Amino acid sequence: MPLITTIEDLRRLAQKRVPRMFYDYADSGSWTESTYRANESDFARIQFRQRVARNIDERSIRASMIGQDMAMPVALAPTGLAGMQHADGEILTARAAAAFGVRYTLSTMSICSLEDIAAHVGQPFWFQLYVMRDRVFMQQLIERAKAAGVDALVLTLDLQILGQRHKDLINGLSAPPKLTVPNILNMLTKPRWVAGMLGTKRHGFGNIVGHVKGVADITSLSSWIGQQFDPRLSWDDVEWIKQCWGGKLIIKGILDVEDARLAANCGADALVVSNHGGRQLDGAPSSISQLAAIAEAVGEQIEVWLDGGIRSGQDVLKAMALGAKGTMIGRAHLYGLGALGEVGVTKALDIIARELDVSMALCGYNDIRDVNREILLPGSFPTGVC
């Protein structure tokens, strides 16, 4: 196996080991994928100020996100179908995150269930919720999350309808996936993945199958999912969910200053500047390009985090410099999972932590909590405050 030193190394290995339809599901955007690409390329335009002859002997990248202590200002973002990147993927990822000292967010559309994570990890984690038409099921999910030890709810607001993802259409990625001859042949070229899937019973959507009336197995799931994402979603629904939950609430999917103000006013504990990894509205701006304006507008009222395009510790550092109090990584940890399972997720976290520490030090800072815009080269970052 080649030496792994970057997230890109993990991505390449995951591409070799994960069947095409599931790799493409994780590593693609909607329509032309312009927003997906901008999430990464806009980070690259931001430059650091290198500082010298400053005492950087003792350093800390520890941070607090919604009052919870983290080994670094990074949480693992919710990612659907993680259990198709690697057998029992959500369990393995949650274990790696807990051992490292960061929070894992389980997706509503996970393969492993809330109960699976609670039973196999034994430490608090977060849960991501979509607004669905079936409010009774949503209430049940919230109660199950409480029972499983979830200590923060991540409410995703930017998926009222599903963005068109061409690779998924071409590959037949649906619920259940279409096992066409090309897909089957491709899976047979991934022996590690096949062996893992044969060794687990978790192949469906564990949070849904068996918990919804009329959805007893994966074959009956497709029509239910197609009807569930609720285009009538409003801020009144957010208030209802907040009341049902009663705990720490994180609003994910904010890309506009006006929406950020609404999120701050609704009483949430944090908002996540995010365009769903470029998987929803193609042609929308990158997450990092909107961060400074949103942090300036509402950062004193609510914690502002950044999700989208983070592939290194340097990206985390840039986000913190532009006003984020925390970040979330999705694809970066999925690459590790697909490449090497639990070990790969730990490797991804190690890479980001090391890059964050070294880059912060070379900019002359000792503590991630002290980082601000002065760490960046003037003129290299977006400042458009609305």
Confidence label for 220 from pLDDT (cuts 50, 70 and 90) = low
**What amino acid is encoded at 222 in this protein?**
S
In angstroms, how far is the first alpha carbon of the chain from the final one?
Answer: 49
In the sheet with 270-273, reading across from the earlier edge strand, the strands are: 74-76, 326-329, 303-307, 270-273, 249-254, 152-156, 126-130, 105-106
pLDDT number for residue 183: 92
CA-CA distance, 280 to 63, in Å (whole number)? 30
Give the three-class secondary structure for 215. strand
Is 362 or 180 the better-scoring residue by pLDDT? 362
Residue type (1 letter), 95: R
pLDDT of 386 reads 37
Considering the chain, what is the average pLDDT of its residues? 94
**How would you class 178 by CB atoms within 10 Å of its CB: exposed for 0-12, middle for 13-18, buried for 19 or more?**
exposed
Q: Of 227-236, 300-309, 370-379, give the lowest mean pLDDT range.
A: 227-236
Q: For a pLDDT cut of 90, what percent of the chain falls above it?
A: 85
Q: Does the pLDDT value for residue 136 go beyond 50?
A: yes
Q: What are phi and psi of 53, to 5 degrees?
A: 55, 40
**Contact assessment for residue 328 and residue 80, using Cβ atoms and an 8 Å cutoff:** no
Given this model, what pLDDT does residue 151 score? Answer: 97
Assign 222 a pLDDT band (cuts: 50, 70, 90): low
pLDDT at 333 over 80: yes
> What are the angstrom distances between the C-alpha of 121 and each of 52, 91, 118, 336?
43, 7, 6, 19
Give yes or no for residue 121 having a pLDDT over 70.
yes
Q: What is the average pLDDT across 153-169?
A: 92
- Which is higher by pLDDT, 196 or 204? 196
| Range 17-20, long-range pairs (CB < 8 A, 24+ positions) | 17/190, 17/192, 17/193, 17/338, 17/339, 18/85, 18/86, 18/190, 18/193, 18/338, 19/183, 19/186, 19/187, 19/190, 19/193, 20/171, 20/183, 20/186
Residue 228 has pLDDT above 90, yes or no: no
What's the pLDDT score for residue 88?
Answer: 98
Burial zone of 188 (CB within 10 Å; 0-12 exposed, 13-18 middle, 19+ buried)? exposed
pLDDT band at 385 (very low <50, low <70, confident <90, very high): very low
- Give the residue numbers marked as catalytic: 276
Nearest to 156 by CA among 115, 198, 108, 114: 108
Q: Distances in Å between the alpha carbon of 208 and those of 86, 141, 205, 293, 294?
A: 20, 9, 6, 38, 35
User: Half-sphere exposure of residue 151, counting CA atoms within 13 Å on the CB side?
Assistant: 12
Query: Which amino acid is located at 245 in the chain?
Result: W
Comparing 385 with 37, the larger pLDDT belongs to 37
| pLDDT confidence tier of residue 175, bands split at 50, 70 and 90 | low
* Lowest mean pLDDT segment, chosen from 10-14, 120-124, 224-228: 224-228
Q: Taking residues 30-43, what's their average pLDDT?
A: 97
- Quick one: pLDDT at residue 216? 67
The H or E element containing residue 250 is strand 249-254
pLDDT of residue 209: 87
Judge whether 142 and 58 are in contact, CB under 8 Å: no
Residue 306: which H helix or E strand, with range?
A: strand 303-307
Q: Say yes or no to pLDDT of 74 above 60.
A: yes
For residue range 352-369, list pLDDT tens digits in order. 999 999 999 999 999 999
pLDDT at residue 43, rounded to an integer? 97
* Range name among 52-56, 111-115, 162-166 with the lowest pLDDT average: 162-166
pLDDT for 108 beyond 70: yes
pLDDT given for residue 229 in this prediction = 83
> What are the φ and ψ backbone dihedral angles of 272, each rounded to 5 degrees?
-115, 115
Among candidate residues 263, 262, 270, 266, the one with its CA nearest the CA of residue 323:
270
Q: In the predicted model, what is the mean pLDDT of residues 337-345?
A: 98
* Average pLDDT of span 69-83: 97
Is the pLDDT confidence value at 384 over 70? no
Query: For position 7, what pLDDT does the model report?
Result: 98
